[in-house]
Structure 1
Amino acid sequence: MPADCVLWFDPRCSASRRVLELLRARGVEPELRRFLEEPPTVAELGALLALLGAPPHALARADADEYQALRLSERTPAEELLRALSQHPRILDRPIVISGGRALVARPPERIGELFPPDSRGG
C-alpha cells in the first residue's frame, strides 16, 4: 500500500529537513524519496507535474550551477527539460510533498499547511 505522504527529500537541504520536522509535528510520517540517490524517471516527473498542475519549469532551480551549465532556460522545450531534470536531479526544486492526489513544492516549508493544516495535536 502506498504511503499517505511522500517527501522528495535531500538530507543536506535545510528546507527538506524543516519540512520533515513540520510533517512529523503534524503526526505525518512521510515516505522519504531520496531523489538524488534514485533520480526520478521522465514519467515520474510527468506524473508529478500533473499533480502540481504546473509546467516543467516550475520544478527547475534556474539558479543551480548545473542548470546554467546545461544551458537550460525558460525556452527549453518541456520534454528536454524533463530529461535534464531526470538526469541531473540536483536541478529539481525541493522539497516536494505528495499526498492525497496533490503535490506542492514546499518553499517556504510552511506551505505544507496547504496539504496538512495544523491541528490540535500541538502541531
Structure 2
Amino acid sequence: MLQIFHNNRCGKSRNCLSMLESSGKEFEIISYLTTPPTAAELKGILEKLGISPIDLVRQKEKTWIDNFKEKDFTDEELIKIMITNPILIERPLLISEEKAIIARDEEKIINFLKK
C-alpha cells in the first residue's frame, strides 16, 4: 500500500494528496508532524529515496536556520534531528514497498503512480 507523509498546511502536500485520491490507488495518510517516523523508518525511507539525510532536511525552515544551520552533523545526528523536529522533513513524501519520492513535482507524482 502507498503512504503519503502529509502536512495539511502545505499546498504541495494537499495537491499530492488530491492526485493520490484521484488515482484510485489504496493509500495511507501519515500525519508525520504528529506521528514522526522512527529512526528505522526514516532510514528505510532514505534508502528508498536514494539520498542522504541532509537532502531530506528542509534547510530553509526557521527551525533549521535558528538551531542547526552552519553546523556539521553525522547522518545519525541528522536522522535524530528530523525525528525530534519533524517539521524539518521535506514534504510530501510518497512511499511504496519498493521506492519513494519527494512529491513536490506533479510530473514526478504522475510517473510514480503509473508504476
**Alignment TM-score, normalising by the size of structure 2:** 0.90
Alignment-mate amino acid for residue 48 of structure 2 = L
Q: How far apart are 1:23 and its partner, in Å?
A: 1.3
Deviation larger for 71-80 or 101-110: 71-80
Cα distance in structure 1, aligned partners of 2:29 and 2:70: 29
Give CA deviations for 1:2-44 in whole Å, capped at 9, x if unaligned: xx11000111111111001111222124200000011111111
**Aligned residue among 37, 50, 54 for 1:40:** 37
Contact 1:56 1:81 in 2 (8 A): yes
Across the aligned residues of Structure 1 and Structure 2, the Cα RMSD in angstroms comes to: 1.7
Cα distance in structure 2, aligned partners of 1:55 and 1:44: 14
**Aligned residue among 64, 67, 83 for 2:64:** 67
Q: How far apart are 1:76 and its partner, in Å?
A: 2.1
The 5 A counterparts of 1:1-123 are 4-72=1-69, 75-117=72-114
Please give the secondary structure, in 2, of the residue aligned with 1:116: helix
Please give the secondary structure, in 2, of the residue aligned with 1:46: helix
* Runs of 4 or more above 4 Å deviation: none
**Structure with larger Rg:** 1
More helix by share: 2
Alignment-mate amino acid for residue 83 of structure 1 = K
**Number of aligned residues:** 115
Alignment-mate amino acid for residue 28 of structure 1 = K
**Alignment TM-score, normalising by the size of structure 1:** 0.85
Q: 5+ residue gaps in structure 1?
A: 119-123
